[in-house]
């Protein structure tokens, strides 16, 4: 078994963690969350999304966030940009790293961003050009890599095709998202094996939702395949507002894998991250109090809060 010697953790609490909340989280609470995460030793924090608040109300005020948070030297503060307008707003806010978002499912692409997969590539072409012109790094997200709430199973070859195109367009890293949390370890390994033929494994990240409690084992499986970048959120909050079953039964996208649970896994494997798990737990409790609930993780309950 070959495992990475070091692992990068990308915190998605403030963006993917909050975008599905029904009640608007005040800017002051988001600033407190991000500033606390900045003290933990994390070196990449996703702050928000420059998307129309008409579609994702929780992401309103992202420009204000970038102007208000205490940006710590050495930490990457990134934002999701859906289109050219979003990129213009990111540039105006001085953002140096952005993310673009595509799907491996045609149906999910239509539901999520109201266009086909080919059209979604056309939509981000000017984003990539603007990023190149302004020296901005671009990270790529691919959703529904193991299953879709509308189409069911997704062929890994389709994921490889989307990820490969993003790589060729200039994305420095491609995050593979199990949007409805349906994957298992063997499926994860097969996915990484096939996608890594189109994108070097060193440029792949894993983004697991914990719908069926398999996120941690799927992350371990991905690490066995050489993946050394992991997306997670404090307290396991998050999910996609569009990832609902076609039969209208309850939302399957339970939430992101909890950052504190991932840190525990890595600690037991002897992999040093330089991240203070106690601060992550504090952040998990703090933001969940704002949301009027408790953290959806196991390690959040270790020690005093």
Helix axes 259-268, 215-224, angle to 10 degrees: 50
Would you state the structure tokens that stand for residue 85, as one six-digit string? 């307008």
Half-sphere exposure (Cβ direction) of 46: Cα atoms closer than 13 Å: 31
CA-to-CA distance for 72 and 70, rounded, in angstroms? 6
CA-to-CA distance for 50 and 154, rounded, in angstroms? 28
Neighbours of 250 (CB within 10 A): 7
The conformation of residue 279, written as its DSSP 8-state character, comes to H
Annotated catalytic residue 115: no
- Cβ contacts of residue 47 below 8 Å, gap of 6+? 14, 15, 34, 62, 65, 66, 69, 77, 78, 79
Active-site residue, selected from the candidate residues 144, 148, 208, 240: 240
113, 120 contact by CB (below 8 A): yes
Which residues are marked as active site? Answer: 240
């Amino acid at each position: 078994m070959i495992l990475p010697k070091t692992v990068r953790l990308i915190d998605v609490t403030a963006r993917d963690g909050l975008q599905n909340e029904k009640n608007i989280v005040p800017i002051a609470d988001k600033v407190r969350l991000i500033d606390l995460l900045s003290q933990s030793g994390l070196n990449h924090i996703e702050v928000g999304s420059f998307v129309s608040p008409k579609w994702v109300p929780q992401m309103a005020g992202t420009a204000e966030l970038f102007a208000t948070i205490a940006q710590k030297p050495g930490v990457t503060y990134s934002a999701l940009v859906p289109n050219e307008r979003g990129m213009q707003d990111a540039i105006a806010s001085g953002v140096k790293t952005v993310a673009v978002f595509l799907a491996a499912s045609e149906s999910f692409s239509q539901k999520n961003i109201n266009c086909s997969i080919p059209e979604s590539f056309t939509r981000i072409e000017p984003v990539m050009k603007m990023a190149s012109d302004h020296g901005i790094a671009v990270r790529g997200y691919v959703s529904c890599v193991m299953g879709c709430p509308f189409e069911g199973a997704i062929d890994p070859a389709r994921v490889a095709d989307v990820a490969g195109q993003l790589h060729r367009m200039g994305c420095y890293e491609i995050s593979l998202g199990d949007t409805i949390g349906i994957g298992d370890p063997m499926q994860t390994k097969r996915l990484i094996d096939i996608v890594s033929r189109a994108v070097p494994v060193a440029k792949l990240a894993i983004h697991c939702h914990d719908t069926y409690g398999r996120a941690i084992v799927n992350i371990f499986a991905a690490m066995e395949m050489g993946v050394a970048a992991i997306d997670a959120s404090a307290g396991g909050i998050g999910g996609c507002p569009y990832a609902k079953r076609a039969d209208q039964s309850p939302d399957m996208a339970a939430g992101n894998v909890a950052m504190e649970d991932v840190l525990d896994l890595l600690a037991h494997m002897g992999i040093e991250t330089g991240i203070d798990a106690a601060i992550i737990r504090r952040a998990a409790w703090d933001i969940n109090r704002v949301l009027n609930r408790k953290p959806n993780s196991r390690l959040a309950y270790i020690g005093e809060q």
